[in-house]
């Protein structure tokens, strides 16, 4: 079994590779060759955390796996850690044997951004000039970078519950 720690992910997975993988899986899902399992998500009654599992199978890509993790809303203020924490487990679809345990925090951010940018590529008008962003937290910078790779937006309009966080996306937009 391979163990790939979070610290290695940035050197192994690019935004471009994430985009291509997500686009391929979306196509496989549309062709009924891949699917997600029902999500399990629960409040654990500790640290106000939510914890869960998201899994799926891609027959075409031969990928079987799940992400275990969740949201710990006090991590940043108490521990200096990001609030979302996750680990990805990959399995051999022929045997069920575990193939890998992979740090999932950056993978989650890249996958989420890739899913949005795939939708921009296939659904947004080619001449779109304005990008709207709701949220300016940790994930927003990933989302905006991915969006800007799909269209040449001239203007980004952002909103966040905590307006003092808007400079996070301003740095990416400029």
What residues act catalytically?
Answer: 67
**Pair type for strands 130-134 and 155-159:** parallel
Give, in order, the Cα–Cα distances in Å from 121 to each of 84, 135, 141, 157.
Answer: 27, 21, 18, 19
Contacts for 118 with CB less than 8 Å, ≥ 6 apart: 19, 22, 23, 26
Helix ranges (DSSP H) in 13-98: 15-30, 75-79
Beta partners for residue 56, in sequence order? 36, 65
Whether residue 174 contacts residue 168, with contact meaning beta carbons closer than 8 Å, is answered with no
Contacts for 161 with CB less than 8 Å, ≥ 6 apart: none
Using only C-alpha atoms, the chain has a radius of gyration, in whole angstroms, of 17
Beta partners for residue 57, in sequence order? 35, 64
């Amino acid at each position: 079994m391979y163990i790939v720690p979070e610290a290695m992910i940035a050197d192994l997975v690019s935004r471009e590779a994430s985009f291509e993988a997500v686009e391929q899986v979306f196509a496989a899902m549309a062709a009924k060759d891949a699917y997600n399992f029902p999500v399990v998500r629960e409040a654990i009654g500790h640290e106000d955390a939510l914890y869960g599992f998201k899994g799926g199978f891609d027959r075409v890509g031969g990928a079987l796996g799940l992400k275990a993790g969740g949201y710990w809303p006090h991590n940043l203020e108490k521990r200096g850690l990001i609030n979302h924490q996750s680990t990805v487990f990959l399995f051999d679809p022929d045997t069920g044997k575990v193939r890998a345990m992979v740090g999932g925090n950056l993978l989650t951010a890249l996958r989420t951004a890739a899913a949005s940018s795939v939708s921009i590529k296939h659904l947004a008008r080619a001449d779109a000039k304005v990008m709207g962003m709701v949220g300016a937290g940790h994930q927003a910078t990933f989302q905006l970078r991915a969006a800007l790779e799909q269209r040449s937006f001239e203007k980004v309009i952002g909103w966040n519950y905590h307006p003092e966080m808007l400079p996070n996306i301003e740095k990416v937009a400029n």
